[in-house]
């Protein structure tokens, strides 16, 4: 059955057909036909943000927290260009978004018309695919394809540019049931021979290590990963994007790898004889100097994107496909082989490192330590029996959140990985809260990052999204200051932000939100508890130790077993006691 309706109405109907019940956006001239059609669509909630970048980050946070694609709608020209950072961010982290931008009428495209910008050209390198729709009749098919492409294979953002005459034009609407994309056929099932080969290596390894990333979250493979880890007693490290893919209170969890990873994690990677990468991309922030990364190991790499395999690190057993299918197949194969865990001595070696080189920070003497704030957020949420979703900004705040927040399940950690976008966390928390109304959503923020997007307090307030922003207010662009302290002789060029400008409590109050300040260590619990209990958005201004650094730290380009705050120049093997060493090496 077809129905003759406008392009704008077709767009809305297509969203309904895709099961979209919430979207984020900001209107303007050329999208008014679409906004007009949305006016009657009561089953789609529209969250009006205060800046288009916020709309994309919110849609992104929604997608990360729910697993469903995030949808955004903005106008042409400046509306469209304001989405660029958000789209690049989603692209780097493989987050499924469908972004609609308005465009000037097809008759004036290419004439530098008012608010014209070539957004498909601009976003070509930062979208998985994009479309400029030239005829209303194409809309249903294009939207169907866009959702399909965004959510399948390696997910990512897809942009649809809709000229105003296309929205106003007419279309015989019928939503297609299938897509016809001859050039797009992701591989899901792993190659049987490769799976067999990988299983043999896993069964034989004495010092294996499971290295899991965002791909495990995206494919919903956390259960399978846990099964594999427990079956073979494999230690597990999760990347920043993979946080939540494995319960961090599990004895096999050995922390985050890389630049600010724990020493015991990086030592384990340096010593492993079999690195099993699942849904990871050997990012430079993880590997440090590539030649020294897991240099004693054979490498198995499971990824749905063939282009990731061998991109940075040569691989012995590549397996292209969906992480969930493949890890399940590995478990099945290992069971068939009656493979038994052989990692007892290896785990004891890692535990020995863990005991000797734990993550740590100095005790408090009158000033709040930012790391403790992170731990108290966990503890208080726990005491309140609330499910916690932690979002982060970028900088030291993000690294402390990564190090000290104990994440237990997938899709409860929302953080900008590949692009490292300051100002992501807060709008993302709004999106996460919109998708997960019952969760306690906390943005662990920096004073710098939050100021990039603080106008979205209005969005949170007006839409009744009770997110909590906990600012680790150090009065600095802290991570920049840290690099300046370590590598630029403490010359703090343009990294100082007065701790009391703005007054974050008053700022929160100006938007009708709850604001509270913690100045002394003893204020922290009360401030957090009050904010978490408050029925609405809240800001906690924690005045933390200003010149605290994130340690340990691998110097940029350095090898990951040589950490500042580690033992300089000391080979890992010298850090193990001899008896254990013999057992592991044997």
The binding site for ligand TPP (CB under 6 A) comprises 393-397, 420-423, 446-449, 472, 474, 476-480
Whichever of 238 and 542 has its CB closer to ligand TPP, that residue is: 542
Tell me, rounded to whole angstroms, the distance of Cα 306 from its chain centroid: 21
Q: How crowded is residue 436: how many other Cβ atoms within 10 Å of its Cβ?
A: 18
CA distance 554 to 181: 44
The CB-of-424 to ligand TPP minimum distance in angstroms stands at 8
423 near Mg ion, judged by CB under 5 A? no
Binding-site partner at residue 183 among ligand TPP, another protein, Mg ion, none, CB < 5 to 8 Å by type: another protein
Judged by DSSP in three states, 261 sits in coil
| Span from 67-75, 304-312, 446-454, 467-475 in contact with another protein (CB under 8 A) | 304-312
Residue 382 Cα distances to 104, 259, 404, 573, angstroms? 51, 29, 15, 39
Q: What is the DSSP string of 416-434?
A: --SS--TT-HHHHHHHHHH
132 near another protein, judged by CB under 8 A? yes
Judged by CB under 8 A, the chain residues 482 through 511 that form the site for another protein are none
65 phi and psi angles, rounded to 5 deg: -80, -25
The CB-of-411 to ligand TPP minimum distance in angstroms stands at 23
- Whether 388 and 381 have beta carbons less than 8 Å apart is answered as yes
311 near another protein, judged by CB under 8 A? yes
Binding-site partner at residue 422 among ligand TPP, Mg ion, another protein, none, CB < 5 to 8 Å by type: ligand TPP
Whichever of 477 and 560 has its CB closer to Mg ion, that residue is: 477
Q: Which of 175, 184, 483, 492 binds another protein (CB under 8 A)?
A: 184
Number of residues forming the site for another protein (CB under 8 A): 17
| Span from 178-186, 258-266, 338-346, 477-485 in contact with another protein (CB under 8 A) | 178-186
Instruction: Please state whether the peptide bond connecting residue 552 to the residue before it is cis, i.e. omega within 30 degrees of 0.
Output: yes
Q: What's the token pair of residue 12?
A: 């809305």
CA count, 13 A, side-chain hemisphere, 531: 34
x/- mask, another protein, residues 148-167, rule CB under 8 A, reads: -x------------------
Q: Which of 2, 107, 124, 193 binds another protein (CB under 8 A)?
A: 124
182 near another protein, judged by CB under 8 A? yes
Q: What's the token pair of residue 579?
A: 């008896």
CA distance 427 to 450: 10
Q: What's the token pair of residue 419?
A: 């692009």
- Whether 126 and 91 have beta carbons less than 8 Å apart is answered as yes
CA distance 550 to 371: 9
CA distance 271 to 296: 6
- Whether 426 and 494 have beta carbons less than 8 Å apart is answered as no
The CB-of-485 to another protein minimum distance in angstroms stands at 34
Binding-site partner at residue 428 among ligand TPP, Mg ion, another protein, none, CB < 5 to 8 Å by type: none
| Span from 106-114, 118-126, 330-338, 339-347 in contact with another protein (CB under 8 A) | 118-126
Whichever of 53 and 474 has its CB closer to Mg ion, that residue is: 474
CA distance 22 to 43: 8
Binding-site partner at residue 184 among ligand TPP, Mg ion, another protein, none, CB < 5 to 8 Å by type: another protein
Q: Which of 19, 78, 121, 556 binds another protein (CB under 8 A)?
A: 121
- 440 pairs with which residues across the strands? 388
The residue among 341, 221, 240 whose CA lies nearest residue 285 is: 240
Q: How crowded is residue 66: how many other Cβ atoms within 10 Å of its Cβ?
A: 16
| Span from 107-115, 150-158, 424-432, 477-485 in contact with Mg ion (CB under 5 A) | 477-485
| Span from 30-38, 69-77, 175-183, 498-506 in contact with another protein (CB under 8 A) | 175-183
446 near Mg ion, judged by CB under 5 A? yes
Judged by DSSP in three states, 67 sits in coil
CA distance 15 to 59: 14
120 near another protein, judged by CB under 8 A? yes
318 near Mg ion, judged by CB under 5 A? no
Residues in contact with Mg ion by CB under 5 A are: 446-448, 474, 476, 478
Residues in contact with another protein by CB under 8 A are: 120-121, 124-125, 128-129, 132, 149, 181-184, 305-307, 310-311
């Amino acid at each position: 059955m077809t129905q003759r309706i406008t392009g704008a109405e077709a767009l809305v109907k297509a969203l309904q057909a895709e099961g979209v019940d919430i979207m984020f956006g900001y209107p303007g001239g050329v999208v008014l036909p679409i906004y007009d059609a949305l006016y009657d669509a009561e089953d789609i909630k529209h969250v009006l943000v205060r800046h288009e970048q916020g709309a994309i980050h919110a849609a992104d946070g929604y997608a990360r927290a729910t697993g469903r694609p995030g949808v955004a709608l903005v106008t042409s020209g400046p509306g469209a260009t304001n989405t660029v950072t958000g789209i690049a961010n989603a692209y780097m982290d493989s987050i499924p978004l469908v972004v609609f931008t308005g465009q000037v009428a097809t008759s004036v495209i290419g004439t530098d018309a008012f608010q014209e910008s070539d957004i498909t050209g601009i976003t070509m390198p930062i979208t998985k695919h994009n479309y400029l729709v030239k005829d209303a009749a194409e809309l249903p098919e294009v939207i169907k394809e866009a959702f399909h492409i965004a959510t399948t294979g390696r997910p990512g953002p897809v942009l649809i540019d809709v000229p105003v005459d296309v929205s106003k034009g007419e279309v015989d609407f019928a939503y297609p049931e299938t897509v016809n994309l001859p050039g797009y056929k992701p591989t899901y099932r792993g190659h049987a021979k490769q799976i067999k080969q990988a299983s043999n290596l896993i069964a034989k390894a004495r010092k294996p290590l499971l290295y899991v990333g965002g791909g495990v979250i995206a494919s919903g493979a956390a259960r399978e990963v846990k099964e594999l880890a427990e079956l073979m007693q494999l230690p597990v490290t999760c990347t920043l994007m993979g946080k939540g893919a494995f319960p961090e209170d599990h004895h096999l969890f050995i922390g985050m790898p890389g630049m600010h990873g724990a020493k015991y994690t990086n030592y384990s990677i340096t010593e492993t004889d079999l690195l099993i990468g699942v849904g990871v991309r050997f990012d430079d922030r993880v590997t440090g100097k590539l030649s020294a990364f897991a240099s004693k190991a054979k490498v198995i790499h499971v990824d749905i994107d063939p282009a990731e395999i061998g991109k940075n690190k040569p691989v012995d057993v590549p397996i292209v496909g969906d992480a969930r299918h493949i890890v399940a197949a590995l478990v099945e194969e290992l069971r068939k082989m009656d493979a038994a865990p052989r990692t007892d001595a290896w785990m004891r070696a890692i535990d020995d490192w863990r005991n000797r080189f734990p993550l740590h920070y100095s005790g408090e003497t009158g000033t709040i330590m930012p790391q403790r704030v992170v731990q108290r957020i966990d503890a208080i949420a726990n005491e309140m029996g609330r499910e916690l979703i932690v979002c982060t900004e970028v900088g030291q705040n993000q690294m402390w959140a990564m190090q000290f927040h104990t994440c237990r399940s997938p899709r409860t950690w929302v953080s900008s990985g590949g692009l490292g976008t300051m100002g992501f966390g807060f709008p993302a928390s709004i999106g996460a809260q919109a998708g997960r109304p019952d969760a306690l959503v906390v943005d662990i923020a920096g004073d710098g990052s939050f100021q990039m997007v603080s106008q979205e307090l209005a969005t949170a307030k007006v839409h009744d999204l009770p997110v909590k922003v906990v600012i680790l207010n150090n009065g600095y662009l802290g991570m920049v200051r840290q690099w300046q302290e370590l590598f630029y002789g403490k010359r703090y060029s343009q990294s100082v932000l007065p701790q009391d400008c703005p007054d974050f409590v008053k700022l929160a109050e100006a938007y009708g939100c709850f604001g509270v300040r913690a100045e002394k260590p003893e204020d922290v619990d009360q401030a957090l508890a009050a904010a978490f209990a408050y029925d609405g958005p809240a800001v906690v201004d924690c005045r933390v130790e200003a010149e605290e650094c994130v340690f340990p730290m691998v110097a940029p380009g350095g090898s990951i077993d040589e950490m500042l705050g580690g033992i300089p120049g000391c080979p890992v093997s010298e850090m193990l006691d001899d008896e254990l060493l013999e057992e592991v090496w044997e």
